Structure formats: C-alpha cells, structure tokens
C-alpha cells in the first residue's frame, strides 16, 4: 500500500498547480468566516470547530444570544488536539449525548483515526472534564457502541462483549440495562435480536407526560420491528408492517410506509406520511390521517418537528419545498411555507422536548443552499414565515458566468432520469470541455443541490463542467425510485448513469476523453461498474472508498447489513445477477479500460479497504496501471481533519485535470 501511495502521489503532486490548489482548498476548509453549525443542549449551543490551529477541533459552546452576534463568545469545552497529544491517540470527535434536563452528564464518542468504532466516555459538561471509571464514570472500549441514557445512573447499551453480542454485520445484537458502578458484562439483557439482523437499538423519550422506552430491531436495512417497554418490563410489539417507518412525537405516531399499505379500509401509497394518536393506535384504531401523498413529481425527503408543528421536507423534481402542519389545531391544519427555491432546505428544530417549559419550543434554524449559492441560516418559528437572518457563508469560488440547468436523459427502459448540469450560462454554445459526472444511486439517498464549495473551487472555477445524476436507486422520487434499482434490478442504476453520459456526449458538451466519473462508497461501485460496462465513454474515473467485490462483500465488516440493497451472494440466483456487474469479477484480459484512481482508508471499518486493494492488484495483473491512494486514517470519510481533506481533494482533482485536459494553473 505504501509503495502504491508513493508512486501515485509522486505523479499527482508533480501536476502543475497542485500546491496552489491544495493551498486554496485548505484555506477554504479553515476559513474563519464559514458558518459554525450548532446543536442545542439546554441553554448552550455546541459547535465543533476545526481550523489550522485546531486540526481535530475545539468542542465549544455559546448562548443563542451570543451566536446571533458576528463574533460569538465561545467557551471551550474540550480541545481534541490537546487530548490526542496527551494520550498519544489520533482522536476524532464522533458525537455526544447529554442527559436532559440538567445537561451535565454526557456520553462522548471518540474515534481513533476516524473509524466508525469509538470509545465511549462519560464527560462532565459543568466541570468540562472526563469522569474516570474509578470515580464511577461510564467507559466502553472501542466498539460500534449504541447507548441511551435511561436515567442519571443507568444506560441502555448495545456493544461488543462476546460472540453473542453482535450481529453478522458487526452491530449490537443485545440491549443491556447497565447500572453505574456495576460490571457491563453483568448487566442484564433486556432485548435481543437475531445474528442475521442488522442491529438492535433503544430510544428513550422523557417528554413530560409522554415518557416511554422503545426497543427496535432492524431486520434488514429497510425493515424494522418496534417494541414498547411497559412498566412491568414486558415488551409490546407495535402492530405495524416491518416496512413502515415509525416516528413518535408527544401523543402522535408518524408512519411512513415504504410499500403500499392497506389498513383500515384504505390503501396508502409508499412514501406517504400518516398521523394517528399512539393511544388510539394501541387500542386498535386504524383511522390514519394522510399528511403527505407522493405523486410523479413530489416525494417526502424528511420531516422535522417543533413542539406543535410538523415541517415536511418535500422534494419536487429534486429541489426542496417546505409544508407545515399545525398539530395543536383540531383537526391539524396544513399550509405552505414561503422559502427559497429551488435548492436544498434543511430544518434544525431548537425545541427541547424534555423541558416542561421551553422558550424555544417553536423555533428552528432554516438553512438554504444550492449548487452556486453558499449556505445561509435564519432563525424561524412554527406558524410564521418571518425569519431573522443569523449567518451567511461567503462565496468560496467565483461563480460568475455559471448557471445550473436541469435536464432529463432517457434510460435503456425508457425511464426519464433527471440530472443537473453546472457550467457556462450558455452551455450549448460553449466548446466541448472537461466534464465531471457525479452519482451515487443507492440506499434511497437523494442527491439534492448542495453548495459545491471545494468542487467549485477546484473544478468549476478552473473551467470544468459538473453533472450530478439523479439515477434510480437513490431517493429523489421516494421509495419507488429506489426500489426500481434495488437487488436484482441493480443494472437500472448503471443504465441510468450511462444514459446521462451518452446524452452529454451527444449534445457535444464533451468528448469521451474529456468525460470523467466520480463516486464514493456505493457510488464507487457505480462508477467502476459503468467504466467496465462502457469503457469507451469515459476518460477518467475517481473511485472513492468503493464496494467492488460483490461475491464477498457480505463477509467483510458491515457488508452483511447491505444484502437487502444488493442481494445475497450465497443465493445462486442473486449471485448470477451480482456477477454480471461485480467490478472485481468483470475485469477481463485484453480489455481497454479508462484510467482509474482508487482511494480508500486503512481505518475504514465500514467498507473494507480490501475491496480497493484487490481490485487494483487484479488490474495490475492484467497489465493496467491504476493509481491508488490509501489514507492511513479518516475512516469511511477518507480524511480525519482539514489538512488530510485538502490533500486528498487536491490529489483527486489533479488526477482529473491531467486526464481530462483541465489546467489547474490560472491562464
């Protein structure tokens, strides 16, 4: 690996303009003017801030009043760089869970090198210090641990203890009730799944008047069982199809079926959102109120909740709109929220449901961005369209002369597939030029517009075009769009991506030697499969933290959890389909292939780096010369801090510039 790194990096770092680009990317990532994103815990708002002086970050906090100022008065809670130096570990912040309403006791997750597995330590948010086990503090060694506070002295926890404690996917199989000061191994098991499940988990709701504990069993990536823990310790399974997603808020159940669901004499289509009171449902009532029904253009991307309002994040041809329901009204009332369009809207409620009285119960932060518009955040309130601007990200690249257009390609089966083209304002009159095609197409993940930031700086501002393909397998049009390319229908994702590429070439926007592909994780599988199926279409491929060996993926790390997405390689009929597109198995002697750069991470404990390593070894054995970069840390994200991110991005865009004919140096 080190030999391949040295060889590839020496070539790419010699690209004219590499150091300049790397410096620009690092400056952007460390820019003191970027928006500090916050999370509420009681009266404080917390932020993890990384910059040149603090590569791993300062975990800090301020009040909301101070946050509204140009220069908030931040108070440092934990210095990750100082902690790593003192302990000789490469710590990466991996989240925190503080116990309401006091918000003094906190479970802090620390990942060594950015892996999904982490240490779990108890932290005192008042004294800003760790509580060691010898003082009674909770501590769990590195594992893929899930934990919830039950009370000040009790956790509901799933972690690695013995061969029965984990599923085949490497996630918790058991939930234990762990009392402070007692051995974790002696904590009683209160809930257990099967080895072939993805995971089990617990959720604790301390909303006054609506206290409850739920235990969940993920049967696969898209099917779940939900159990209500009753006062006598018995479990009551909710009478729901496993494909119905569940949300609980105060007295309400929010239900979203992933398949058409006939209940109570009505059929509710997949992707709808339904409302009923929990107590009525438990008593046998099935009169569900539809809050959202999808159509050919609109799907439900997500939803958010204040105390009394439900905000629906609606995707309309892959751009965001907001709808609002007043749940305090009888019956609940709907209205459209006036918000920027088209682009990406995201809502961050500030309500703390565990406070009996909360001055921020109806407040939320509204973020907006699109491909060419930097992120901005405003303070909004349920029931109103009035907003107070709080922060705005300065532009990170020169977008003058650029425009965004949405087009549709026709896939092999006649399906219209949307894609965004970001480039010159008059693309049809511009000469063919370097074009980067980006996609994902899996796990019902939608690629909605986001501010391009580093991609804009490294690629668009230097004259390149970007195309974002919204192919099947993603969630752009709800569950049906995803399911159309799930399992044995996976080829449709590749057909869609290839159809977009063919249209770009047919329109004269680029030549094959100017068309590059980029995708990560499932997107790495996508770009590798398409490059092998239609190598004549592409000049370069950036394949990031990829999934490539579809015969063995379910035996590596978290791979078993993805069989609902791809299929079971041990099933002969599934394997017959998987083999036809598995990139590792589709490498053949005597085939001309486009140039490829593969990137991965030694500390990726989600998609094993063996996928990329084996693929590169096989390519080399067949006489190809792929480039390969394996980061020593960074996990599935590929980088642990801004310096590593800037370096990796500079390597990737230097590769694309060399292969597709883009000059990194200014003219």
Task: Give the containing element (helix H, strand E) for 151.
Answer: strand 146-151
Beta bridge partners of 349: 364
107 contacts 138 by C-beta, under 8 angstroms? yes
Distance CA 201, CA 217 (A): 7
Distance CA 151, CA 130 (A): 19
Distance of CA 589 to the CA centre of its chain: 37
Distance CA 317, CA 586 (A): 34
Task: Give the containing element (helix H, strand E) for 179.
Answer: strand 174-179
Tokens 């926007």 belong to: 509
Alpha carbon distances (Å) from 219 to 157, 222, 234, 563? 19, 8, 21, 11
Alpha carbon distances (Å) from 186 to 89, 171, 183, 189? 29, 20, 5, 9
In the annotation, is 521 catalytic? yes
Distance CA 280, CA 268 (A): 19
Q: Which residues contact 667 (CB under 8 A, 6 or more apart)?
A: none
Distance CA 450, CA 408 (A): 19
Tokens representing 238?
């909710």
Tokens representing 55?
């590569």
Distance CA 302, CA 290 (A): 15
Closest CA relative to residue 435, chosen from 659, 262, 648: 659
Tokens representing 165?
């404690």
Out of 411, 521, 582, 595, the active site residue is 521
- φ, ψ of residue 300 in degrees (nearest 5): -90, 115
Q: Which residues contact 201 (CB under 8 A, 6 or more apart)?
A: 146, 158, 172, 175, 215, 216, 218
587 contacts 581 by C-beta, under 8 angstroms? no
CA dihedral sign, ordered 648, 650, 651, 657:
positive
In the annotation, is 429 catalytic? no
Tokens representing 600?
């991965």
Distance CA 455, CA 250 (A): 42
Alpha carbon distances (Å) from 424 to 319, 430, 461, 469? 21, 7, 10, 18
Out of 8, 309, 636, 654, the active site residue is 636
Cβ burial, residue 80 (10 Å; 0-12/13-18/19+)? buried
Active-site residues, by number, are 521, 636
């Amino acid at each position: 690996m080190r030999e391949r790194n040295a060889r590839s990096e020496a070539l790419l770092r010699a690209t004219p303009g590499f150091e300049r680009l790397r410096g620009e990317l690092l400056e952007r990532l460390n820019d003191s003017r970027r928006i500090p994103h916050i999370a509420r815990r009681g009266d404080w708002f917390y932020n993890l801030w990384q910059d040149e002086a603090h590569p791993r970050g300062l975990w800090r906090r301020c009040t909301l009043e101070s946050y509204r100022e140009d220069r908030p008065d931040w108070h440092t809670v934990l210095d990750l760089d100082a902690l790593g130096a003192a302990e000789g570990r490469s710590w990466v912040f991996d989240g925190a869970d503080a116990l309401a309403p006091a918000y003094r006791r906190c479970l802090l997750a620390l990942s060594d090198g950015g892996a999904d597995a982490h240490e779990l330590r108890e932290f005192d948010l008042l004294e800003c210090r760790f509580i060691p086990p010898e003082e009674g503090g909770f501590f769990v060694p590195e594992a893929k641990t899930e934990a919830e506070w039950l009370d000040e002295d009790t956790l509901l926890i799933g972690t690695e203890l013995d061969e029965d404690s984990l599923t085949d996917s490497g996630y918790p199989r058991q939930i234990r009730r762990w009392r402070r000061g007692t051995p974790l191994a002696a904590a009683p098991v209160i809930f257990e799944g099967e080895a072939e499940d993805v995971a089990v988990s617990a959720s604790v709701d301390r909303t006054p008047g609506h206290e409850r504990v739920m235990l969940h069993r993920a049967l696969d990536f898209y099917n779940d069982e939900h159990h209500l823990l009753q006062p006598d310790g018995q479990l009551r399974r909710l009478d729901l199809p496993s494909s119905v997603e569940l949300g609980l808020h105060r007295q309400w159940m929010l239900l979203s079926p992933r398949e058409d669901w006939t209940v109570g004499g009505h059929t509710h289509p997949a992707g709808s959102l339904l409302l009923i009171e929990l107590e009525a449902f438990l008593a046998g009532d099935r009169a569900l109120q539809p809050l959202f029904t999808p159509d050919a253009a609109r799907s439900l991307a997500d939803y958010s909740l204040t105390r009394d309002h439900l905000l629906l994040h609606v995707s309309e041809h892959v751009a965001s709109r907001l709808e609002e329901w007043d749940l305090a009204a009888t019956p609940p009332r709907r209205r459209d929220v006036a918000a920027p369009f088209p682009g990406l809207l995201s809502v961050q409620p500030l309500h703390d449901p565990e406070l009996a009285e909360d001055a921020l119960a109806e407040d939320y932060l509204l973020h907006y961005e699109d491909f060419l518009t930097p992120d901005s955040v405003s303070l909004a309130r349920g029931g109103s369209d009035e907003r107070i601007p709080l922060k705005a990200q300065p532009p990170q690249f020169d977008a003058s002369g650029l425009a965004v257009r949405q087009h549709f390609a026709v896939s092999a089966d006649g399906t219209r597939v949307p894609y965004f083209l970001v480039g010159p304002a008059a693309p049809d009159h511009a000469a063919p030029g370097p074009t980067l095609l980006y996609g994902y197409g899996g796990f019902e993940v939608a690629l909605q517009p986001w501010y391009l930031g580093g991609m804009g700086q490294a690629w668009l501002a230097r004259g390149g075009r970007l195309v974002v393909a919204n192919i099947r397998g993603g969630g752009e049009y709800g569950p049906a769009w995803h399911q159309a390319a799930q399992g044995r229908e996976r080829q449709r994702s590749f057909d869609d991506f290839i159809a977009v590429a063919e249209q770009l070439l047919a329109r004269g926007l680029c030549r094959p030697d100017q068309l590059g592909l980029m995708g990560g994780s499932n997107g790495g599988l996508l770009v590798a499969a398409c490059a092998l199926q239609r190598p004549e279409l592409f000049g370069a491929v950036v394949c990031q933290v990829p999934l490539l060996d579809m015969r063995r993926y379910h035996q590596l790390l978290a791979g078993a959890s993805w069989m609902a997405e791809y299929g079971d390689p041990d099933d002969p009929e599934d394997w017959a389909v998987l083999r036809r597109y598995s990139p590792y198995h589709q490498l053949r002697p005597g085939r001309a292939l486009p140039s490829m750069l593969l990137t991965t991470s030694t500390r990726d404990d989600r998609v094993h780096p063996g996928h990329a390593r084996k693929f590169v070894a096989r390519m080399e054995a067949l006489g190809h010369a792929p480039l390969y970069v394996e980061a020593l840390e960074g996990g599935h994200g590929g980088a642990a801090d801004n310096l590593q991110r800037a370096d990796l991005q500079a390597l990737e865009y230097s590769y694309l510039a060399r292969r597709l004919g883009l000059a990194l140096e200014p003219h």
